[in-house]
Amino acid sequence: MPVTNPEAPAFHETVETPEQVRLHLELAGLGTRSIAYILDTLLRYGVLLAIFVAVVLIFDALQLHWEGITDQFGAHFIMIILTLLYFFMEWGYFATFEWLWTGQTPGKRVARIRVLKDGGGPISFLDAALRNLVRLVDSSGPMAAIGMLFIFFNRKNKRPGDLLARTIVVREHPKTLTQLLALSELPPRIPDDPFADLIRRISLTSDQHDLIARYLQRRDQLDTATRIRLCRQIADAIINPVRLQPNSAHLNLPQEADYERFLQSLVSVQPGPPLSKS
Amino acid sequence: MTTTQFIHTRKEHWQQLDSLLIKTERRRLRALSRAELKRLGQLYRILTTDLAYAQTNFPQSDVVLTLNQLASRTHPYVYRGESFTFAGVLHFFRNDLPQTFRANIHYFALSASIFLVAGVLGAIAVFFNEEAAGIVISPAMIDYIHRHEMWTEHFFSVIPSSVASTRIFTNNISVAFSAFALGLTFGIGTFIIITINGLMLGCILMLCARYGMLGPLIEFITAHGVVEISTILIAGAAGLMVGTALLNPGHYTRRDALAVRGADAVKLVLGVAPMLVVIGLVEGFISPQPAIPAELKMALGLFLGALLYLHLFLSGRNPSTTNRVS
């Protein structure tokens, strides 16, 4: 789970949806965008090269020559297709994919980034064409240096094509819902809990409940010292007020070694204060 | 309510939305049935409500981040612009393109002026000194003219018309796109492209005139020349629009001027691309064909040129069709 602050001003674009809800879009940085671009470029010229080599090998096997060929085996047709394919890879690849795949190219999909309009909406065909035709000036060959400088220095990571088409490139984290749901699973109830009496006396606030739940979710990622320290802090904060209550002398209080099991038992028995109507 | 409770009571909606979204991301919106499409919109609204609730009640939690990410993934699919239809394309060529051309006619005039001045300068240079032609014309081509031969005859005897046409129009569209993109160099790159094309035409015309080749040259270029040069000049105009937006943004900030004029300019340059395909076919199949009389080629060239300019100046003037948002 990325622990980023959505309110952080840098590298974020805040968008207000028609439902009056603020969306925070995380802008893709130079690194991610470069990776996507390199992948796309490898794909473009890789496919082109593979087809070209295949055609040359076939022609060689059939003992044909490029110059002055007559239209045997659809040789003209193949040459036309190759010319069109080269043209497509040079000028059409990015615009076509971004238009058909709602702001993504194969490289962007792998790098998990997407092109959006400034307001967070989808880009149109004209936007896709606009931002990609000017790649000649800001991201092809040595000109890529210009696009990179722009992405690095521009407040919203825009290269000239993004400025022209009023687009932004954002990062996506498609797996996080599954992660969130997995993390929000409560631990199973422990039968014959030795601390049942104690637990009955505790009424958790929603913040305490979240704190314990989050501690339990993340405890495996903590180093042992931190884990013990945190566990003691949380458990003490909950148990100590009970100690001060009357008639608490006979209660079975957990030892430090049992703290984790106690916390686990606590959140599984108490799902929190009753639901407010929402 | 705790975040855990919140997640547990609402998660079914989010999971449904997530699975619809994954389906959409894999295979576009068409993969969804009508009911699913409707459900996507509903779920998105439920999600934004949940997000607003989470933003207020658990501002620091992972729930906000996760819902925010889910919502921003859905947003572009729910609020889509006008989709790409045949009617939309037709509307673009019949109304948007000529209207945009007329609204920016002064950039076309500028582009054409640069071309003409360069052409005249090229012709004058070659008139006084033949060697000057070598700057913009390849030595091989000059050799052909010296031998009183058309280089085109050689070219088309080696390469079949179909292949030649493809090469010609992909090359011309590349030039048009480049002229537009180079507008970002404050128009300098665009200016150079227009100038070089003007110089080339001026030099070739003058050189051919000196070697008595003007007849065959005109016969070759007449069928496609008018439209081909016009479309390149329109692409040049698009580049100049972008360039002047940077040099002289007027009432806008430079950034806004760039976006506003860029949106118009890209229409022009995309609009001429299909014209360059058609004219490339004319150049490959009709222009080099000796069987077709020169008069017929000239008539075709004038007809296509007239068609282009009549369309650009007269189409889309009906006010009822101008209101549509493009």
**What are the pLDDT digits (tens) for B228-240?**
999 999 999 999 9
Given a cut of 70, whether residue B90 has pLDDT beyond it is: yes
Given a cut of 60, whether residue B322 has pLDDT beyond it is: no
Q: Which two tokens stand for residue B236?
A: 């040049």
Looking at B78, B99, B121, the residue that finishes a domain is: B78
A4, A19, A112: best mutation site toward chain B, by most B Cβ within 10 Å? A19
Q: Domain count for chain B, please give it.
A: 2
- Which residues share a beta bridge with A168? A116
Looking at B26, B45, B78, the residue that finishes a domain is: B78
pLDDT score at A78: 85
The answer on B46 and B160 residing in a single domain is no
Q: Which two tokens stand for residue A88?
A: 């497509």
C-alpha span between B283 and A24 (Å, rounded): 53
Interface predicted TM-score (ipTM): 0.86
pLDDT score at A72: 59
pLDDT band at A174 (very low <50, low <70, confident <90, very high): low
The answer on B9 and B141 residing in a single domain is no
CB atoms under 10 Å from CB of A87, counted, come to 18
- For chain B, how big is the Rg over CA atoms in Å? 28
> Residues A181-219: pLDDT tens digits?
776 676 666 777 777 777 777 777 777 877 887 788 778
The mean pLDDT value of chain A amounts to: 81
- The answer to the question of residue B298 being in a domain is yes
The answer on B220 and B258 residing in a single domain is yes
The answer on B242 and B164 residing in a single domain is yes
The answer on B164 and B32 residing in a single domain is no
Find the Cα–Cα–Cα–Cα dihedral B55, B60, B62, B67, rounded to 10°: 10
Amino acid letter at B37? L
Check residue A215 and report its DSSP letter: H
Given a cut of 50, whether residue B325 has pLDDT beyond it is: no
pLDDT score at A63: 66
pLDDT score at A39: 96
The answer on B144 and B13 residing in a single domain is no
Check residue A9 and report its DSSP letter: S
C-alpha span between B40 and A78 (Å, rounded): 44
Choose between B300 and A273: higher pLDDT: B300
Looking at B43, B60, B78, the residue that finishes a domain is: B78
The answer on B174 and B129 residing in a single domain is yes
Given a cut of 60, whether residue A272 has pLDDT beyond it is: no
How many residues does this entry show for chain A? 278
pLDDT score at A234: 87
- The answer to the question of residue B190 being in a domain is yes
The CA-based angle B194-B199-B205, given to 5 degrees, is: 130
pLDDT score at B290: 86
pLDDT score at A7: 44
- The answer to the question of residue B325 being in a domain is no
Q: What is the pTM of this model?
A: 0.81
The answer on B72 and B12 residing in a single domain is yes
Determine the structural domain holding residue B154 and report its residue range: 86-319
The CA-based angle B184-B188-B192, given to 5 degrees, is: 125
| Burial zone of B143 (CB within 10 Å; 0-12 exposed, 13-18 middle, 19+ buried) | exposed
How many residues does this entry show for chain B? 326
pLDDT band at B196 (very low <50, low <70, confident <90, very high): very high
By three-state DSSP, how is residue A166 classified?
A: coil
The answer on B281 and B134 residing in a single domain is yes
pLDDT band at B207 (very low <50, low <70, confident <90, very high): very high
Q: Does B319 touch chain A (CB under 8 A)?
A: no
CA B290, B292, B293, B295 torsion: positive or negative?
negative
CA B217, B218, B222, B226 torsion: positive or negative?
positive
> Residues B99-131: pLDDT tens digits?
999 999 999 999 999 999 999 999 999 999 888
What does the pLDDT average to over A103-127?
90
pLDDT band at A9 (very low <50, low <70, confident <90, very high): very low
Q: Does B258 touch chain A (CB under 8 A)?
A: yes
Query: What's the first-to-final CA gap in chain A, in angstroms?
Result: 27
The answer on B240 and B222 residing in a single domain is yes
- The answer to the question of residue B309 being in a domain is yes
Which residues have CB under 8 Å from B88's CB, separation 6+? Answer: B82
- The answer to the question of residue B326 being in a domain is no
Chain B residues close to A99, C-beta within 8 Å: 84
Choose between A262 and B243: higher pLDDT: B243
Chain B residues close to A121, C-beta within 8 Å: 75-76, 79-81
Q: CB–CB of B58 and A210 under 8 A? A: yes
Q: CB–CB of A83 and B69 under 8 A? A: no
Which residues have CB under 8 Å from B73's CB, separation 6+? Answer: A172, A174, B21, B25
C-alpha span between A36 and A30 (Å, rounded): 10
| Burial zone of A207 (CB within 10 Å; 0-12 exposed, 13-18 middle, 19+ buried) | exposed
> Residues B241-250: pLDDT tens digits?
999 999 998 8
CA-nearest residue to B190 within chain A is: A137
- Which residues share a beta bridge with A115? A169
Of A76, A103, A121, which is closest to B160 when you measure between CB atoms? A76
pLDDT band at A69 (very low <50, low <70, confident <90, very high): low
Amino acid letter at B159? I
